[in-house]
A and B are shown apart, each in its own frame.
Chain A
Amino acid sequence: MLDLCHIHKSFGDVRVLDGLDLRLEAGRVHTLRGGNGSGKTTLFNIVTGFLRPSSGEVRFKGRDIGGQSPHRINRLGIGRTFQDLRLALQMSALENILLAQERRMFALTAAADVRRAEATLERVALSHQRDTPAGELSYGQQKLLTLGCCIANDAELLLIDEPVAGIDKDNFRKVTTLVRELRNGGKTILQIEHHPSYIEETSDRVLWMEGGRLREGTR
């Protein structure tokens, strides 16, 4: 599915990724752990085109995607969320989903599009907040909405950055259920998370990031 070969990334003198290798299996949930600043988010940014690796290869379904722009990479089928919650805060929950699912540059919104977006909202348990501006949702709901945006255009590979960090119990359950559903629906997932019971409930494989590389296991 996704193959990373000898990825190096430095910011100035700071080596963050140092010959990292990773191979993701289709249909599995892979969880990254590692200390603060160990380079997990940097890895996400490299895969999704927001950062270029200093060297190394990024292959998605056999195709070299290194150096492609973020929007191209998304359109190839890689969706992501951000650790620091990115949403169009002035737009309603529904509109955020519509935005995410639309592929054409100029298209009027048909009733079928709205129904599809509503179905996505339902999956992330936000139907009751359909018309609430994203900026007025609770933190947990915003996290759910970013997951909704991430899955709205049917990406096959999902990169999810700390989905349950800092959220309440109720939304924790919703995220856990959603990620399990996504896995059962055949999505490939790479996620960053530390929460032990969440990892337990969702992950097929856990990887530990240290010294700019990954190794199998939780520590």
Chain B
Amino acid sequence: MEYLLHLLILVGVYVMLSQSLALSAGFGGMISLAHAGFYGVGAYTAALLAVRCGAPFLVALPMAMVLSGMLALGVAAIALRTVDDYFVICTLGIQVVVFSLMNNWMGLTRGPLGIPGIPGIRLFGMAVESKVAFLLLVAVLAALIFVAIRKLTTSSFGRTLRALSEDEIFAKSLGKNVYLTKLTAFTLGAMFAAVPGVLYAHYISYIDPTSFTLDESIFILSIVILGGMRNLWGSVLAAAFLVLLPETLRFVGMPGAVAANLRQVVYGGILVLMMFRYSRGFGAERRQTC
């Protein structure tokens, strides 16, 4: 039972990660490999604030979101202006930089040693100690993020985002500030990604850089792709499926090593699927000249 709750908490974390990535990558067409980086910024901010300053959850959460958002804003402000079509390469760059900061900035992050002893969450004077209580908190925050992203994507903002991912020139001709819209979507996505980071740090109580690698970014992207890019419920199901898949394989008696490899094969397959889709789908239809 405890283990099942643990898995559900992880599913919740990946639901939040995939929803937030769906905003920029799915609706805005800004494929990003930096999402684990923003997730990590959230986790490290919360961990350091809690361990070094004793900051409570409700203080650390907005600070983590702001920090992650600022990083996204800074990078995207440059990347979206200069290298539009190579945006994904830039996000790969952010991911690598964030990871190496976590891994090498010994004074701040303790590098590969990680940060142990992260306290649990206290909310309104009560400790969120049991797994059930933690799962509830995760579910509430996941639901809030879901609703926020649903509202954003069904508003005029979401419509502009979908339109510019098809044809930027068309969107501009209708008075849309394409640059600002993309910048906002990417920043909001990174801010939302910090939320599961904060939760994860408090939940696991020990974090190190290995949880926020490029592999992890690819995994989150795989969830969004499997979920159908712009389908928020699809992302929820895909998160559950991909998180629970290796456990299920183990449960039916497949040796752990084989299951882990199979997992990689599944992600690889999903990425290939994406290339396929993109070469025929909306990515290919984008036209840039007048």
Binding site for B on A (CB under 8 A): 41, 45, 48, 50-51, 69-71, 74-75, 79-80, 82, 84, 86-91, 95-96, 98-100, 102-109, 149, 153
A sample of 16 cross-chain residue pairs with beta-carbon separation below 8 angstroms, ordered by A number, consists of A50-B290, A69-B177, A70-B173, A71-B172, A71-B178, A90-B162, A95-B159, A99-B156, A105-B157, A105-B184, A106-B152, A106-B157, A108-B151, A108-B156, A109-B156, A149-B174
Nearest-neighbor residue (CB-CB) of A83 within chain B: B290
Say whether, besides A41-B290, A45-B290, A71-B178, A50 and B169 are in contact (CB < 8 Å): yes
3 closest cross-chain pairs (CB), A and B: A74-B175, A86-B170, A102-B156
A95 to B162, CA, bound (A): 11
Say yes or no: B156 contacts A104, CB within 8 Å: yes
B105 within 8 A of A: no
A82 to B171, CA, bound (A): 12
In the assembled complex, the CB of A90 is this many whole angstroms from the nearest CB of chain B, namely 6
Say yes or no: A88 contacts B172, CB within 8 Å: no
A86 to B287, CA, bound (A): 9
A104 to B180, CA, bound (A): 13
Say yes or no: A48 contacts B173, CB within 8 Å: yes
Contacts of A82 in B (CB 8 A): 169-170, 173, 290
Say yes or no: A90 contacts B282, CB within 8 Å: yes
A6 to B35, CA, bound (A): 50
A80 to B154, CA, bound (A): 26
Contacts of B287 in A (CB 8 A): 84, 86
Contacts of A96 in B (CB 8 A): 163
Residue of B175, B282, B290 contacting most chain A CB atoms (<10 Å): B175
Say whether, besides A86-B167, A87-B167, A90-B162, A108 and B155 are in contact (CB < 8 Å): yes
Among B155, B167, B290, which residue has its beta carbon within 8 angstroms of that of A51? B290
Nearest-neighbor residue (CB-CB) of A98 within chain B: B159
Among B156, B173, B176, which residue has its beta carbon within 8 angstroms of that of A106? B156
A90 to B229, CA, bound (A): 14
Nearest-neighbor residue (CB-CB) of A70 within chain B: B172
Say yes or no: A109 contacts B155, CB within 8 Å: yes
Question: With contacts A50-B290, A89-B167, A102-B159 known, what are 18 further pairs, Cβ within 8 A?
Answer: A69-B177, A74-B172, A74-B173, A82-B290, A86-B287, A88-B162, A88-B167, A90-B282, A91-B159, A91-B162, A91-B163, A95-B159, A99-B174, A100-B174, A105-B180, A106-B155, A108-B154, A109-B154
A106 to B175, CA, bound (A): 14
Say yes or no: A86 contacts B175, CB within 8 Å: no
B103 within 8 A of A: no
Say yes or no: B174 contacts A153, CB within 8 Å: yes
Say yes or no: A105 contacts B173, CB within 8 Å: no
Contacts of A95 in B (CB 8 A): 159
Say yes or no: B175 contacts A71, CB within 8 Å: yes
Say yes or no: A105 contacts B181, CB within 8 Å: yes
In the assembled complex, the CB of B249 is this many whole angstroms from the nearest CB of chain A, namely 36
A71 to B170, CA, bound (A): 10
Contacts of B176 in A (CB 8 A): 71, 99
B285 within 8 A of A: yes
A205 to B181, CA, bound (A): 40
B 43-88 contacts with A by CB, 8 A: none
B18 within 8 A of A: no
B 139-173 contacts with A by CB, 8 A: 151-152, 154-157, 159-160, 162-163, 166-167, 169-173
Residue of A51, A104, A105 contacting most chain B CB atoms (<10 Å): A105
Nearest-neighbor residue (CB-CB) of A85 within chain B: B170
Interface string of B190-201 (1 = CB under 8 A from A): 000000000000
Say yes or no: A86 contacts B151, CB within 8 Å: no
A90 to B164, CA, bound (A): 11
Nearest-neighbor residue (CB-CB) of A89 within chain B: B166
Say yes or no: A153 contacts B175, CB within 8 Å: yes
Nearest-neighbor residue (CB-CB) of B159 within chain A: A99
A95 to B172, CA, bound (A): 16
A108 to B177, CA, bound (A): 18
